[in-house]
Amino acid sequence: MTDDVRIETDGKAGRIRLNRPKAIHALNTPMCIAMAKALDEWRGDTAIEAVLIDHAEGRGFCAGGDIRMVAESGAGDGSAAREFFRQEYRMNHRLFTYAKPVVTFMDGITMGGGVGISLPAKYRVATENTKLAMPETGIGLFPDVGGGWYLSRLPGRMGEYLALTGARIDGADCLALGLATHYLPSDRLDEAKRRIAEDPQAVDTVLGELSVQPPESKIMADQQAIDRLFAADRLEDIYVALEEDGGEWANAQLTTLRTKSPQTMKVALKLLADGRTMPTFEDEMRQEFAVAAHVCQRHDFIEGVRAVIVDKDNDPKWNPATPEAVSAHMIDQIFAPLPDDEAWTPQG
């Protein structure tokens, strides 16, 4: 299928090993298809009792998706971009609904698409190397791959804070927020994988025995400020709260927000507000696909990728340039459902 992901079996475990080191294992369409196919094959295989997801060579777990390709497609007819999102979200949904235990090892950079293959897993292992973020608003995209579902279920307004600012959090933060289920030193991961592959029924015991107490969570120290200053569902109101606070931390967040796409920050806020009451994860992915299909062809995404990834001048010219200029009508257009023959479905 593709050399970018290694599909293996090890004892009683299926192994999915991301293997695109030069791109920090960012997902592309063939990788998503290969992962979904492996999950389908293992679902009915009684010899496979658990699935382990990690990366093979190189640093980082997964830096996201193949954003450059998506932007190039979005600048044209968008068909390759839509196919990528369609297959990625199908693979995300397979993981979310998988009956056998899935263990992900978030050792290193875990961003965007990497979050999308981590959070559906029953067991999510963070380490001292974990750097998790949903940084999409900085490139005119939005926290997808189920971001509207997962982030809206975090304590207080943590989800809104992470979605808008793209803040990077570490392994201790992930455990404190419930994004990770266990915290292991990275030098114990090989032992964990070996023991789980030998006896998948003992996964709770294995991860429990190898876990250690993490350092103190830094993000939890800011929880009261986050809940207070990011309390609104209107972006303009969050700006006002930060401006009126005037403290060093609030000013730093305001400076960060002013570098992000106002359009996709508003998209993110609506996504999380909607996500709280989504009936199922399938409904969430259907909505996110419609939003992705629209956003990937809009100016801010093409411009954001140009500024951050292609030219690397880090000076995107957002249009609209301010939160006030992003109309409710514009957001409604982005969230408009697709026709039935174009809409996302869990199966091909």
- Which residues are catalytic, by number? 65, 113, 136, 144
Q: What is the largest CA-CA distance in the chain?
A: 60
Check: CB of residue 344 under 8 Å from CB of residue 337: no
Check: CB of residue 188 under 8 Å from CB of residue 38: no
Compute the distance between CA of residue 69 and CA of residue 23 in angstroms, rounded to an integer. Answer: 12
Residues with Cβ within 8 Å of 107's Cβ and at least 6 positions away in sequence, in order, are 54, 55, 61, 125, 127, 129, 130, 186, 189
Q: Which helix (H) or strand (E) holds 86?
A: helix 79-96
Check: CB of residue 56 under 8 Å from CB of residue 15: no
| Tokens 């570490």, residue located | 170
Strands of the 169-170 sheet, one edge to the other: 109-111, 131-133, 169-170
3-state secondary structure of 277: coil
Residue 140's nearest CA partner among 294, 255, 24 is: 294
Residue 297's nearest CA partner among 72, 142, 95 is: 72
